[in-house]
Amino acid sequence: MALPAYATTGQRIGYYSFLTYCALVFFFLIAPIFIILPLSFSASPFFEFTREFMNFEPEAWSLRWYRQMVGISSIGDTTVVSNKWMLGTRNSFFIGIIATLLATALGTVAALGLSRPHMPFKAVLMAILISPMIVPLIITAAGMFFFYSKIGLTHTYLGLILAHTALGTPFVVITVTATLTGFDTNLIRASQSLGADTMRTFFKVIMPLILPGVISGGLFAFITSFDEVVIVMFVGSVEQITIPKQMWAGLRQETSPVILCMATCLVALSIALLTTVEMLRRRSERLRGIKQR
């Protein structure tokens, strides 16, 4: 969409103001995420850019909040070890990974069924399976709190894992179904006519082709679980700390810059995940022969 050589002055002004506007919107989208990176290295206990910090004075920059995050902090001469953040990290990964594996397995199989041409009630089923993504988390949390407390699943890891699995499956269903559009079913027939059984066909023919979709769906499910706080707060117990829950507590009670350190780590994680998913998406498009315009 370049400007043609014969553009009038008015058109030029319009075009450049449009570009400026877009630049501002992109800035609005991305700036808040990066503003916290430098601030996490500040020695100040408040979320603010002090004058000393801006002038790069060495004593205003520090790694003390990172030390505190990994569980080492010193008050005076004594070293205090508080490992709430590390406990949270462990729990987040534990819940996240198991929920992701479950969600990926259930979601992939369901997507395979949904993509079959003979699927009855496809639209209704799809709407039901996607609904955990659409229903507000607070309603989901309320319902799960009421029901899980009846069957004794509140304050257990199993309850949290099941809840997070339910939240993660729509993403897997969506990405795998998207990968399966344009899937050449003749490949399955070819494999079967050459003597492979259902399992072998699945692992040797279908799986390699849909793997990019499966992995990106899994990553979506993981980040959903990893970022989820409302259900952890209502269904989990006080001791079941996860990273977002600890951040929440930090924001509500003891506004500590350790939150910024953890936020920086999470931004790094999301960049890593985003890069992976983008690479997978391109690979998948290449595999399926969808050309980039």
Partner 1 sequence: MNHSQSSAGLILTTDGIPLKISLKKAERVNKIRAFLLVSPLLIFILVTFLIPIGDMLARSIDDRQINTVFPKTFEVYKKWDRQGLPSEEVYKTMFFELKNSEGYSVGKASTRMNYSKSGWKSLLKKSKRKFKKIEEGPFKEKMIAIDKKWGDREYWLALGQMVDPTTMGYYLNAVDLKYDSNKNIVQQKENRRIYNKTWIKTFKVSVLVTLFCLLLGYPISYLLATLPMKYSNLLMICVLLPFWTSLLVRTVAWMVMLQQKGVFNNLMVMAGLIADENRWQLMYNQTAVVIVMTQILLPFMVLPLYSVMKTISPTYMRAALNLGASPLHAFYKIYMPNSIPGVSAGCLLVFILAIGYYITPELVGGKDGQMVGNWIAYHLKTTLNWGLCAALGAILLAMMTALYWAYNKIVGIENIKLG
Nearer to partner 1, 138 or 187 (CB): 138
- In three-state secondary structure terms, 1 is coil
Q: What Rg do the C-alpha atoms of the chain give, in angstroms?
A: 24
Residue 63 beta carbon to partner 1: minimum distance, rounded to whole angstroms? 19
Nearer to partner 1, 31 or 194 (CB): 31
Partners of residue 61 on adjacent β-strands: 42
Residue 13 CB-density burial (10 A; 0-12 exposed, 13-18 middle, 19+ buried): exposed
Nearer to partner 1, 74 or 198 (CB): 198
Nearer to partner 1, 136 or 182 (CB): 136
Nearer to partner 1, 158 or 187 (CB): 158
Residue 160 beta carbon to partner 1: minimum distance, rounded to whole angstroms? 11
Contact 88, 259 (CB under 8 A): no
Question: Of 149, 48, 161, which Cα lies nearest the Cα of 96?
Answer: 161
Residue 76 beta carbon to partner 1: minimum distance, rounded to whole angstroms? 28
Residue 43 CB-density burial (10 A; 0-12 exposed, 13-18 middle, 19+ buried): middle
Residue 175 beta carbon to partner 1: minimum distance, rounded to whole angstroms? 6
Residue 109 beta carbon to partner 1: minimum distance, rounded to whole angstroms? 5
Nearer to partner 1, 82 or 131 (CB): 131
Residue 212 beta carbon to partner 1: minimum distance, rounded to whole angstroms? 12
Please give the Cα distance from 104 to 224 (Å, whole number): 13
Contact 258, 250 (CB under 8 A): yes
Nearer to partner 1, 194 or 251 (CB): 251
Nearer to partner 1, 79 or 198 (CB): 198
Question: Of 220, 218, 196, which Cα lies nearest the Cα of 206?
Answer: 196
Chain-centroid distance of CA 216 in Å reads 10
Copy the structure tokens of residue 179.
Answer: 């990968």
Residue 102 beta carbon to partner 1: minimum distance, rounded to whole angstroms? 8
- From residue 200, how far is each of 106, 146, 203, 206, 235 by CA, in Å? 19, 43, 5, 9, 41
Please give the Cα distance from 271 to 93 (Å, whole number): 17
Residue 17 beta carbon to partner 1: minimum distance, rounded to whole angstroms? 10
Partners of residue 92 on adjacent β-strands: none
